[in-house]
Structure 1
Amino acid sequence: MEKLKQNYTSPRWSMEIPDCSMPMSMDTYSRCSYNCLYCFSFFQKSHTTKGYLTGQPRSVNPEKVIALFENAAVNNTAAANKTDVQFFKYIQDRRIMQWGGLADEFDEYERRNGVTLELLRYFDKIDYPLSFSTKAAWWTEDSRYMELFARHTHNWHVKISIITADPEKARKIERGVPSPQERLAVIKRLADIGIHVTLRLRPFIIGCSEDYPTLIRAAKEAGADSVTTEFFCMESRADDRLKARYAAMSEVLGYDIHQFYMENSKQQGYKRLNRAIKAPIIHRMRELTHSLGMRFHVSDAFCRECNDACNCCGVPPEWGVSQTGNIGNAIIIAREKGFVTFSDVMESINKYFDFPWVGACGYNTGSNKARALLYDTTMAQWLRSNWNDTKKGTSPARAYGGVLVPDGKDENGDVIYRYAIKR
């Protein structure tokens, strides 16, 4: 067996940086051992990473990850590389790091190699706040992992991804993944030692996830204290490999998912379904979750106003570790006072994102032309421009289903957004 190469670059900045409350994202491995048909990471990496489909997985170099955090702690910019320095302020303020954005950190690669475990021992030592996203089960029956987690009920949070309570549908769509019942048992094992656990009902897939009342109640009984959801998004620029995945999903779901998304999504490229389809389901899900005494969170661009906190992944808001300079938080501010200005979220943006936009670690900056035009622009400046360009698809005016409506400008020349309640 080929020795695992430890040259994968992580952490990185999430592509959702405009509306993400924990944009510093960590992946242990370059790929996931699971084979979920809906995986957006598969599409992204199979098209942008040479040899992804045929190559062996790589991992991060634990020594380099540890050096990043050690150098940040003492602000040792001289010893750090240029890329690492952009994370320093975020780490120094102990903002929460998201773990498991593009690959599962506890999958079969981890069982074989143990790189996540090595890093967990370090983060335990420095008591750093973390939020994990996983479908794996075995690690919660391994004392090496659980003894570490038992010490971090105050700042380690876990999201367990389950899309349906139906084991047969799950088996066909989430290939190689433990059954929904096994994952519910994971929730119980973690909750029993005091860990805050969120049911990650993402992606919500029509034809598969309508049994959400059963699933949410089962998660509550197992010990989950919150739910987060987002609808499946479909890449319409699919090649034959991806179309074959959609065809396999369609067989399970009972309808042509590619056709359905093409007919019911207004967006170009990445199809997200229309708000009219999503909103009734999300509102009913929210009502059920609240009736059970659980927090509710939405990472979907539509219905972000249904969030109980600015962190749409379910991190306990009382921890105070989320980054608040994002559009998700702006929507909550507007919901509370009727409008929101850029100055309401500006402080956090200016503090953590003053590095060059073209050099943002792991961030897809697009074409050479875009990089040339924005060469001297910081990420903070880009985020402000995104706020003010009301015709841009990622602006508050365009990306959130009309919840925020432009309503003039403030004394700084920034767009004021008025809250428009929609159901």
Structure 2
Amino acid sequence: MDYIQTKTMITKNKNPHYWFGHDYNMNIYKGCNHGCIYCDSRSECYRIDNFDKVRAKENAIDILSKDLGRKRKKGVIGTGAMSDPYNPFEEELCLTRESLRLINEYGFGVSILTKSELIERDMDIIEKINKTSPVCIMMTITTFHDELCERIEPNVSVTSKRLQVIKKFAERGIFTGVVLVPILPFINDTRENILGITKAAYDNGAKFVYGSFGVTLRQNQRIYFYNKLDEFFPGIKEKYIRHYGEKYNCNSFNYKILRESFKDTCKELKLLYKMKDIINSYKPEKPVGRQISIFD
């Protein structure tokens, strides 16, 4: 394991209403070895050399302790957007686990995005955080079938195992759901896939499914993605080039149908699917207290 230097572990989120109510962002690791063929974090703009190599931040736990110990406004710390906090090295290093311990100690909430069943190991600490602060556990699921999952997300827990994790957290009363992002045009942008994931999420106790029916492509990420399409899905790359060119947002041509079917199913199953509703459900705003009258 190589280590990189850092001055701070958490950064203030300028727009906490944009992505699951995160007041702060935290990344213990840099890079990811999950091998997902579509990962936007490979993009050149993030300046991560050799993205497939995982590096940890030097003295991460000591720095995080100092960050949290400062007089910061309490809030939800989000992790997992740039690098999965439960990569294979975490099983031995336990840096994410130690981070959760500190988050609990200092009275912050947490929101975790992962594709790994290793998160089950930290159920005990997450339950402690959940008693006093907001908690949101998110599993990224992009394809209903394990066989396809193994091709587009080769080094992570398959879909069926991720659903089992959702069930275990839900059974403990922890706010848990699915991030259905991204959906790859011409590969898994089918009604069967979208509704299969949505219904499976419900069956396993998820409170929400947040979906987006397309993929983003830019810079060297596009090159990597196209190489993988040639390897696993011959002929599909040419469709992307023909239909999307150099576009960043590559929405499914079935977007409207998928979106409406998805919304109808979520309403039928009483699953949350709007970002605002998801945030308000696990992170309700504190009511403004009424001033006490001398006559009360």
Question: Scaled by the length of structure 2, what TM-score is found?
Answer: 0.81
Question: Which deviations, in whole Å up to 9, do the C-alpha atoms of 1:62-117 show, x marking residues without a partner?
Answer: 211221221124xxxxxxxxxxxxxxxxxx1x332221110001121211211111
* Distance in 2, Cα, partners of 1:209 & 1:317: 28
* Distance in 2, Cα, partners of 1:188 & 1:28: 26
Q: In the alignment, which residue of structure 2 is the partner of 1:278?
A: 255
Superposition map of 1:166-177 within 5 A: 166-177=145-156
* Distance in 2, Cα, partners of 1:175 & 1:137: 14
Question: Which deviations, in whole Å up to 9, do the C-alpha atoms of 1:113-164 show, x marking residues without a partner?
Answer: 1111111111111231111100010231x2xx11112223351111101111
Shift of the 6–121 alpha-carbon distance from structure 1 to 2, 3 Å rule, reads: farther
* Distance in 2, Cα, partners of 1:249 & 1:8: 39
Q: In the alignment, which residue of structure 2 is the partner of 1:136?
A: 116
The letter of the residue matching 2:57 is S
* Distance in 1, Cα, partners of 2:283 & 2:155: 34
Shift of the 252–100 alpha-carbon distance from structure 1 to 2, 3 Å rule, reads: same
Question: Which deviations, in whole Å up to 9, do the C-alpha atoms of 1:8-31 show, x marking residues without a partner?
Answer: 854346698794443632111011
Asked whether 1:115 is paired with 2:95, we answer yes
Larger radius of gyration: 1
* Distance in 2, Cα, partners of 1:103 & 1:195: 23
Q: In the alignment, which residue of structure 1 is the partner of 2:63?
A: 64
SS of alignment partner, residue 191 of structure 1: helix
* Distance in 2, Cα, partners of 1:15 & 1:52: 28
Match of 2:276 among 304, 310, 332: 310
Per-residue deviation, 1:262: 5.4
Match of 2:183 among 204, 208, 217: 204
Asked whether 1:221 is paired with 2:203, we answer yes
* Distance in 1, Cα, partners of 2:57 & 2:285: 27
> Unaligned stretches of 5+ in structure 1?
74-91, 297-306, 323-423
* Distance in 2, Cα, partners of 1:16 & 1:41: 20
SS of alignment partner, residue 246 of structure 1: helix
Q: In the alignment, which residue of structure 1 is the partner of 2:162?
A: 183
Per-residue deviation, 1:279: 2.6
Shift of the 231–253 alpha-carbon distance from structure 1 to 2, 3 Å rule, reads: farther
Question: Which deviations, in whole Å up to 9, do the C-alpha atoms of 1:207-257 show, x marking residues without a partner?
Answer: 225212122111111110110112343424447xx4243242366456524
Q: Percent identity?
A: 16
* Distance in 2, Cα, partners of 1:114 & 1:95: 23
Q: In the alignment, which residue of structure 1 is the partner of 2:269?
A: 292
Shift of the 55–157 alpha-carbon distance from structure 1 to 2, 3 Å rule, reads: closer
Contact kept, 8 Å, 2:90 with 2:96, in 1: the verdict is: yes
* Distance in 2, Cα, partners of 1:205 & 1:321: 35
Shift of the 134–316 alpha-carbon distance from structure 1 to 2, 3 Å rule, reads: farther
* Distance in 1, Cα, partners of 2:206 & 2:105: 26
Per-residue deviation, 1:295: 0.6
Q: In the alignment, which residue of structure 2 is the partner of 1:235?
A: 217
Contact kept, 8 Å, 1:129 with 1:321, in 2: the verdict is: no
Q: In the alignment, which residue of structure 2 is the partner of 1:342?
A: none
SS of alignment partner, residue 285 of structure 1: helix
Q: In the alignment, which residue of structure 2 is the partner of 1:26?
A: 26
Shift of the 13–44 alpha-carbon distance from structure 1 to 2, 3 Å rule, reads: farther
The letter of the residue matching 2:10 is P
* Distance in 2, Cα, partners of 1:193 & 1:54: 34
The letter of the residue matching 1:116 is T
Shift of the 146–6 alpha-carbon distance from structure 1 to 2, 3 Å rule, reads: farther
> Unaligned stretches of 5+ in structure 2?
287-296
Superposition map of 1:29-68 within 5 A: 29-44=29-44, 48-49=47-48, 51-53=49-51, 57-59=55-57, 61-68=60-67
Shift of the 193–55 alpha-carbon distance from structure 1 to 2, 3 Å rule, reads: closer
Q: What RMSD, in angstroms, separates the aligned Cα atoms of the two structures?
A: 3.0
Question: Which deviations, in whole Å up to 9, do the C-alpha atoms of 1:277-319 show, x marking residues without a partner?
Answer: 42321121011011111111xxxxxxxxxx2x426xx334362
Following superposition, which runs of at least 4 residues in structure 1 exceed 6 angstroms of deviation?
Answer: 14-18
- Matched residue pairs, number? 279
Q: In the alignment, which residue of structure 2 is the partner of 1:124?
A: 104
SS of alignment partner, residue 69 of structure 1: helix
* Distance in 1, Cα, partners of 2:7 & 2:150: 30
Structure 1, 168-177 or 210-219: larger mean CA deviation = 210-219
Shift of the 258–229 alpha-carbon distance from structure 1 to 2, 3 Å rule, reads: farther
